[in-house]
Amino acid sequence: MITKDTSGRESSKIVRVLKFLRVKWVLVVAAFSIVMATLGWIIYDVSPLHPVREIALRQEQETFRHKLIQRHLSLGNDFLSIGQLDAARYEFNQVKELDPYNIEAWFGLLKAAVFQPIDAKDYDPEIAHRRLSAILDERPDDSHALAFLGEVYRTIDEETALSYYKKALENNPGNAIAYFGKGVVYDTQGKTDEAIAMYKKASDISPWNQTFLNNLAYQHYLRGEYYTAESLYLLLLRLDGRFLLSYYMLANTQLMLGDQATAKKNLLNLEELIRYGSTFDLPRNRGGWLFHLDLMPSITFYSQQEKIAYARYLMGLTEFLNGNIQVCRNHIEEVKKLDLTTEQLYDVLFLVWDNIEELKKSQPGWVSMLTSFEVLIH
């Protein structure tokens, strides 16, 4: 029986295959990889594009993280410019969580810490000056530090304060604190036109800032623009119904407009609030209240007793104009129970008399009643 020798044929096939693999090994490996990747995708749901997608996702996350950092930094600096230091601290701390070594965040937190006691009017001027100077040594054009240095100088040297506010605004026209500070200086100098312009600029940057709005409203009140003043005081109370000074000035404004009934309603709300002494502990109610007078340059109420005494006289006057003489007397008796020094009492009475003189001008028909009220409080 004759048999065929196939070993040579088979070995030649193996040789050809080996030659093919040696020449086309790249294609073979690629094909094998594609097959295995396809099997992995089908069996294990693992895409061959997964590493590429992961890189793209990481890049997208990093881009988004960078945008968040810039947004928080921008907000933090904006809050510094309008004096919202707690909000600024929050934004800078958010940046620290995203980037613990971010220099701008640490610098923002440093500024907020230095500015806080100045803003609260509870600081040593020399310490504040040295700390602000240290910031300016590092960054001479820092608008926030320049503005708060103006705040330090405002009660010491008004012209120097104005120069710092000017520098702050040259470096950042959006610095509302600097505009407001200039307004306060002009206000104390009796430059009402300049003061109202600065308060307006500050309020345009920060439309719901109660401090800015309060000073702007008061300037309109002093100019006899009572309807504008009334609308601003009403806005202040919508923003925060615990802002005590707004009740006083809203009632005064409404009396100037001849609306003693509405003034009484607002003062009843005020009376409800002052029954709770804690309301005076709120930061917005704690500081000094400055009033301009025709009889003297100005007076400032710092103590709670002075503020309550003025409220009682306003309530008494309003009740008198509404024909409630006995209720008026009750309010005047309440003043006698307060622990006021003679000087404090005279300051309160001078302000009341000044209000009465303005009322006589705006409401000539009330002259007789107002004169009778003056006799009563004497």
Q: What DSSP string describes 309-332?
A: HHHHHHHHHHHHHTT-HHHHHHHH
Percent of the chain surpassing pLDDT 70: 85
What element of type H or E holds 298? Answer: strand 298-301
Q: What is the pLDDT of residue 252?
A: 97
Q: Is the pLDDT of residue 17 over 60?
A: no
φ/ψ (deg, to 5) at 292: -90, 140
Q: What is the pLDDT of residue 19?
A: 63
Q: What is the pLDDT of residue 28?
A: 56
| Tens digit of each residue's pLDDT (9 = 90 or more) over 191-204 | 889 999 999 999 99
What DSSP state is assigned to residue 287? S
Q: What is the pLDDT of residue 22?
A: 61
Looking at every residue in the chain, the average pLDDT score rounds to 87
Q: What is the pLDDT of residue 284?
A: 80
Residue bearing the bigger pLDDT, 363 or 15 = 363
The most confident of the ranges 15-24, 28-37, 348-357 is 348-357
Q: What is the pTM of this model?
A: 0.79
* Contacts (Cβ under 8 Å, ≥6 apart) of 246: 214, 217, 233, 236, 237
Tell me the average pLDDT across 13-36: 59
Q: Is the pLDDT of residue 167 over 90?
A: yes
CATH homologous superfamily of domain 208-378? Tetratricopeptide repeat domain (1.25.40.10)
Residue bearing the bigger pLDDT, 68 or 28 = 68
List the one residue out of 199, 248, 241 whose CA is nearest residue 220.
199
61-207 maps to CATH 3.20.20.70? no
The CA distance from 54 to 42, in Å, is 20
φ/ψ (deg, to 5) at 26: -65, -45
Helix-strand-coil split of the chain, %, nearest 5: 80, 0, 20
| Tens digit of each residue's pLDDT (9 = 90 or more) over 50-68 | 666 677 677 778 888 889 9
- Asked whether 147 and 181 are in contact (CB, 8 A), the reply is yes
Q: What is the pLDDT of residue 10?
A: 60
pLDDT band at 235 (very low <50, low <70, confident <90, very high): very high
Tell me the average pLDDT across 10-30: 59
- Parse the chain into domains and list their residue ranges: 61-207, 208-378
Q: Is the pLDDT of residue 8 over 70?
A: no
Percent of the chain surpassing pLDDT 90: 68
The CA distance from 155 to 265, in Å, is 37
